[in-house]
Each structure stands twice: as C-alpha cells, then as structure tokens.
Amino acid sequence: MKGKIVCLCVLLFCVSLPAFAAGPPVPKFNGSYNITGYLEPSLGSPYTWCFDFTNTGAVLGFANSGTWNVPSYSSGWSGEWYVNGDEIIIHGVAAGTFIFSWKGRIVASNRIAGRQAEFFISGATDTAGTFYGAKVSGACPAAVPSAKSGDPAK
C-alpha cells in the first residue's frame, strides 16, 4: 500500500512538472512606464522619460507586441516592441539622429529592466547602460517638466 501511495505521488509530481516549469504567465504588455537609464561606464547621469506602450499585436507575428512613443520629446521619439516569454525587446529612433535598443525582462506585472544602447544613425555608439521601468497610472504627460534633463534627449 505504501508503495502505491509513493508511486501515485511521483506520478502526480511528474504530470504537474510542466505547469511548475512554465512559471507565472506574462501579462499583456501595455500602458505608460517611467523608464530610467543609467549610463556606463560609471552608471551615472541617469535620465528618466515616460514611454507610452500600445499593444497592437502587429510586430513580427508576436501577439504581445506594438508601438511606443515618448510624447514629451518634441523632436519625435518612437518605435516598436515585442515580448517573447518574459523577454522584452524595445527599439526605435529619436529626432532622426539616434537609434535606440533596449533588451530586458518583464520582472513583475508592472516592472521591466535590462540593458540599453543608443547609436547615431552613422553607427557610432553614443551611450549604453542599464534601464529600469515602472508602470505609471494614466498616460505620459505631453510636456517635459523644466527640471527634466539627461541623455538621450539632450
């Protein structure tokens, strides 16, 4: 009898293993996030901008994907993003001069973090470092507060 109970427990464990391995589901990504970047090599001169993410499901066939923009950046700053598992890829352009690429993880339903790089259209690297994003309620403001400063929108 004891052997049957052990066998049953092992069988239940094996059957439920895929559910445990998958982890919690990644939520549909969208909304507004304050993203703060920390620049290498010293991770100093942080900048924070509010990004509006819209889920369109239209990027490279990923259902969890869409467009983004920074409404307070008057020279135009926008791009696309997609989520693959818990990984998020964000890329775009600003002012027709800079190319941006962020690669990171959705670390909670309202938090993202990872690495970023900024390039000039010529291909030369302008900045690189890490980023952290926290979801905010409502949409991003259309204007930049006067105290706002820092790369990438110099």
The token duo for 47 is 């900048």
Residue 22: predicted pLDDT: 52
Token pair belonging to 86: 């818990």
Tell me phi and psi for residue 71, to 5 degrees: -60, -25
Which amino acid is it at 53?
F
Look up the pTM and report it: 0.76
In a structure prediction context, what are the per-residue pLDDT tens digits for the chain, which is 154 residues long? 565 554 444 444 444 544 444 555 666 899 999 999 999 999 888 999 999 999 999 999 999 999 999 999 989 999 999 999 999 999 999 998 999 999 999 999 899 999 999 999 999 999 999 999 999 999 998 876 544 445 444 4
**Amino acid 74: pLDDT:** 87
Give me the domains of the chain, ranges plus CATH numbers: 31-136 (2.40.128.120)
